[in-house]
Structure 1
């Protein structure tokens, strides 16, 4: 989840392509908060291990656009 912006979704997808290349983008769901301030993305991948998930988490936060990763 992060603040809604013109580049939020594309930035997040770039990070996912690095860590989980070829993931199914057709399964992504996006939801905007009631006031339109935040956008949440639900993205499903098949993880290869805890190292992959930790690196993905760190890179998502490093974008400066993500406020929470679950």
Structure 2
């Protein structure tokens, strides 16, 4: 067993089909708000690959979008803007 700390895997950019999952309180406009953020930072993502799942009780909703990630700055901007949405609880 090695004593060296584990480093997260390096991402090579551009990275096609990079998944971003956003979880928040379910509301009529949450999906659209998430997609608007994605359109700003990753225009041209495949809308057909977007998945939306409701929690068992319908209180929360997860939205997963696959983008072509172009760099760490883009990803940080996406995460920052998604976290600013009032419904958002977590971004992965």
Q: TM-score w.r.t. structure 1 length?
A: 0.96
Aligned-partner Cα distance in 2 for 1:53–1:12: 14
Distance 1:34 1:2 in 2: 14
Give the corresponding residue for 1:58.
80
Kindly provide the CA deviation profile for residues 28-57 of structure 1, in whole angstroms up to 9, marking residues without a partner as x: 111100000000011100100000000000
Q: Secondary structure at the match of 2:63?
A: strand
1:4 to 26, 31, 34: 26
State the distance in 1 between where 2:64 and 2:84 align. 19
Name 1:42's counterpart in structure 2. Answer: 64
CA distance in 2, matches of 1:27, 1:11: 17
More strand by share: 2
Structure 1 spans left out of the alignment, 5+ residues: none
Runs of 4+ in 1 over 3 A off after TM superposition: none
CA–CA distance in structure 1, aligned partners of residues 38 and 87 of structure 2? 14
Larger Rg: 2
Q: Which runs of 5+ in 2 are unaligned?
A: 1-22
Indicate the RMSD between aligned Cα atoms, in angstroms.
Answer: 0.6
